Amino acid sequence: MDDLTPRLEKILTAVIEYHVDTGKPVGSRFLCQYGDLGVSASTVRGELARLEQLGFLNHPHTSAGRVPTDKGYRFYVDTAAREKRGRRQVSVPPAGELEGEIEDALRVSAGLLARATGLLALVSAPSQDSTAIEHVEVLQLHPEMVVVVVITGSGGIAKKLVVFEQAVDPGLVNWARSYLNEALLGLELGSRRVMMRLDEPGLDDVERDFLKALSPAFSGKADGARGLYLEGVSGFFSRLEADGSPAVRSLMELLDRQEEIIKLLGTAISEHQVYLRIGREMPAAEMRGCSLVAANYGVAHRNLGTVGVLGPTRMDYPEVIGNVEHTARTLSRLVEEIYN
């Protein structure tokens, strides 16, 4: 990346932030009046020309001002925006407002993020590619009522509520929890090996009958959240139209092919920091007038899904990045609670 002098960097930052706020090209007169640069107008014009020559700014033919290029936004995000992001207060509510089932939390998160940014919020659900059993919880809700919760390695959840005719011995519930976590860890949900472990020859009749009653929880796939939660479509397209984007129609068609959006978010799943693609960095041609900011949520050292915001390249990057990171952290805390 080109090295910029402090003055060039200050001018570029001023142009970007004013353009993001107003959508208008920025001229030397405005920068001299409000940019706090302490140099003459002729010097500012020369620096603007230099930034354009380096590819950070573009000069619309119908205006005397400049607008940022994708390269300009990238430089801003990687330098000046970092400090501003650290100081910015994000507006996504705390984890308490996301309590409940994981599906509800993902849906609510997308809605909150769309309202906070005014852009298109995307939240991908945990992948169901793996159904290996990671943890089993057996809880006695009432003397005759037991619930089994099975969590898979990809974040899927299978639940079964079992009601018995007579009160269940709490000691039997505790034994079943220990036995199931030892016997089934790493086995595929619904597999023959799982069913065999539930009918081991060494079990006594009481244990075997109890596990038989619980067995429906292990017989099929997890019902964990799947797919994509998407909010803020109208605000997103309003922004694109306001910016005169030629890609509005193709993007509307893309939203009907959600598997492609899930695939796009999937490219970020291995990242441990914010995933950011600006304009021409976007993999799909119809998205190259947009930017994607994404971050992953998950447990420990494993990412389960992705939170993202799709918007025009003219977006408030520090605020959007802060909101996306905050939402991802909130969801991570929630799924940690489910696992634990």
Distance CA 206, CA 62 (A): 84
Q: Over 60: is that where the pLDDT of 75 sits?
A: yes
CATH assignment at residue 11: 1.10.10.10
Q: Let me know if residue 1 belongs to a domain.
A: no
- Closest by CA to 297, choosing from 179, 171, 53, 125, is 125
Q: Does residue 231 share a domain with residue 334?
A: yes
- In the structure encoding, which two tokens stand for residue 69, read together? 């290029």
Q: Output the pLDDT for position 224.
A: 45
Mean per-residue pLDDT over the chain, rounded: 84
Q: Does residue 319 share a domain with residue 272?
A: yes
CA distance readout (Å), 30 to 15, 63, 75, 111: 9, 13, 22, 37
What is the percent of the chain with per-residue pLDDT over 90, rounded to a whole number?
A: 42
| Residue-number span of the structural domain to which 144 is assigned | 133-218
Q: Does residue 117 share a domain with residue 233?
A: yes
Higher pLDDT, 228 or 2: 228
Q: Over 80: is that where the pLDDT of 86 sits?
A: no
Predicted TM-score (pTM) of this structure: 0.69
